[in-house]
C-alpha cells in the first residue's frame, strides 16, 4: 500500500472516530428534576412573552430537548416525556401559537399531583 493511501485511510478512521464521539456530545443529560424545572421556566417565559419570539423559541426548544433526553436516560415514559420526545423530534419550528399551547400543556403535565392517595 502506498504511504499516501495509508495516510488517507488513517485520516478517515481518526476523523470517523471524532465524528462518532462528537455526535453524542450534544446530548448532555441533566437530571429529570432539573430538566422539568428548566422546562417550566421556559414555558412560563413563553406565556409571559418575556423576550423576542426567536429567543423564546430557542429557550423552549432547548428545554424540551433536555427534558426529552433526561426522560430517555431515566427510562421514563410519562405523558410529559412522550410530548417532549415528540416535539424534540420535529424538524419544523413551533409558531408562537404552538409555543403558547405547548407551554400551557407542559405546565399542566409538570404540575405536582394535588390528589391524595
Residue 9 lies in a domain: no
Is residue 72's pLDDT more than 90? yes
Residue 5 lies in a domain: no
Closest by Cα among 84, 89, 93 to 54: 93
Domain count, the chain: 1
Provide the 3-class DSSP secondary structure of residue 90.
coil
Q: What share of the chain has pLDDT > 90, as a percent?
A: 66
Residue 40 near residue 107 (C-beta atoms within 8 A): yes
Query: Which residue range is the domain that position 79 belongs to?
Result: 32-110
Residue 116 lies in a domain: no
Work out the burial of residue 13: count CB atoms within 10 Å of its CB; fewer than 13 is exposed, 13-18 middle, 19 or more buried. Answer: exposed
Residue 4 lies in a domain: no
Q: How confident is the model at residue 1 (pLDDT cuts 50, 70, 90)?
A: low
Is residue 82's pLDDT more than 60? yes
pTM over 0.85: no
Residue 20 lies in a domain: no
Residue 102 lies in a domain: yes
- What are 3-43's pLDDT values in tens digits? 554 454 545 444 444 444 445 545 578 999 999 999 999 99
The Cα 65–Cα 53 span in angstroms is 18
Q: Helix 79-88 vs helix 96-110: angle between axes, to the nearest 10 degrees?
A: 150
Pure H helices in 1-117: 3-23, 32-47, 53-74, 79-88, 96-110
Residue 26 lies in a domain: no
Residue 41 lies in a domain: yes
Amino acid at each position: 500500500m502506498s504511504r499516501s493511501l495509508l495516510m488517507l485511510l488513517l485520516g478517515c478512521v481518526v476523523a470517523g472516530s471524532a465524528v462518532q464521539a462528537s455526535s453524542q456530545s450534544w446530548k448532555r443529560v441533566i437530571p429529570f428534576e432539573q430538566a422539568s424545572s428548566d422546562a417550566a421556566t421556559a414555558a412560563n417565559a413563553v406565556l409571559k412573552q418575556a423576550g423576542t419570539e426567536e429567543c423564546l423559541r430557542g429557550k423552549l426548544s432547548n428545554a424540551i430537548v433536555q427534558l426529552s433526553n433526561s426522560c430517555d436516560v431515566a427510562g421514563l415514559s410519562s405523558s410529559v416525556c412522550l410530548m417532549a420526545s415528540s416535539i424534540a423530534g420535529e424538524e419544523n419550528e413551533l409558531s408562537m401559537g404552538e409555543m403558547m399551547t405547548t407551554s400551557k400543556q407542559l405546565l399542566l403535565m409538570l404540575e405536582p399531583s394535588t390528589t391524595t392517595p
